Amino acid sequence: MKHRRISKRRAVIAGAGVVALVGAGVTLQTANASEEAPGFTVKALSATAAGSLASDLVEDLGAGTAGAYYDADSKTLVVNVLDEAAAQGVREAGGKARIVQNSLVELKSARETLSDKATIPGTSWAVDPVTNKIRVTADRTVDSAEWAKLSGVVKSLGSKAVLKRTAGEFKPFVAGGDAIHTGGGRCSLGFNVVKDGEPHFITAGHCGEAGSQWSDQQGGAPVGEMVDSQFPGNDFALVKYTAETGHPSEVNLYNGSAQQIAQAGEATVGMQVTRSGSTTQVHDGEVTGLNATVNYGNGDIVEGLIQTTVCAEPGDSGGSLFAGDTAIGLTSGGSGDCTSGGETFFQPVPEALAAFGAEIG
Among residues 258, 268, 291, the alpha carbon closest in space to that of 178 is found at 258
Among residues 44, 33, 41, the alpha carbon closest in space to that of 98 is found at 33
Among residues 68, 107, 102, 141, the alpha carbon closest in space to that of 294 is found at 141
| Rounded-to-integer distance, Cα 176 and Cα 331, Å | 8
Q: Which of 3, 200, 206, 283 is catalytic?
A: 206
Helix axis angle, 84-92 to 47-61, nearest 10°: 140
Q: Identify whether 109 is a catalytic site residue.
A: no
Q: Which of 139, 235, 316, 325 is catalytic?
A: 235
Cis peptide before 348 (omega within 30 of 0): no
Q: Identify whether 235 is a catalytic site residue.
A: yes
Q: Identify whether 325 is a catalytic site residue.
A: no
Neighbouring C-alpha atoms within 13 Å toward the C-beta of 171: 13
Q: Which of 317, 320, 332, 335 is catalytic?
A: 317
Residue type, 7: S
Say if CB 237 and CB 209 are below 8 A apart.
Answer: no
- Which residues does the annotation mark as catalytic? 206, 235, 317
